[in-house]
Copies of this chain bind each other. A is one copy, B any other.
Amino acid sequence: MFNVRVQVTYKDSVLDPQGQAVQKAIERLGFDGVSGMRIGKSFEMQVAGDDQAAVEKKVAQICDQLLANPNMEQYHYDIQKVATNQ
């Protein structure tokens, strides 16, 4: 089994007004030095299987077909094998 964490963010070329709003709110709270805020979605899941390459392929397909909008969004994922005693 693998723990999978997918992060979907806007492409760098796409404006992120929500991120800009949060950045301004941070400034209004009195925190300085924060820049380049980008907001995205994260998906955490467990995927059954022993073959990391097969799991990576499956995760990429799930991202392409469902989780990310390929026109506006990019994704990356971390895959971590879960130690089991089976």
Does the CB pair A62–B9 fall under 8 Å?
A: no
Number of interface residues of A (CB under 8 A): 33
Residues on B with C-beta less than 8 A from A46 are: 34-36
Number of copies: 2
For A26, give its contact among B32, B35, B66 (CB under 8 Å).
B66
The answer, yes or no, to whether A58 is at the interface (CB within 8 Å) is yes
Smallest distance from the beta carbon of A6 to chain B beta carbons, Å? 10
CA gap between A4 and B1 in the complex, in Å: 28
Contacts of A67 in B (CB 8 A): 22
With contacts A29-B65, A48-B33 taken as known, whether A41 is within 8 angstroms of B43 at the C-beta atoms is no
Which residues from chain B contact A45 at a C-beta distance below 8 Å? 23, 34-38
Contact of A44 among B37, B61, B65 (CB under 8 A): B37
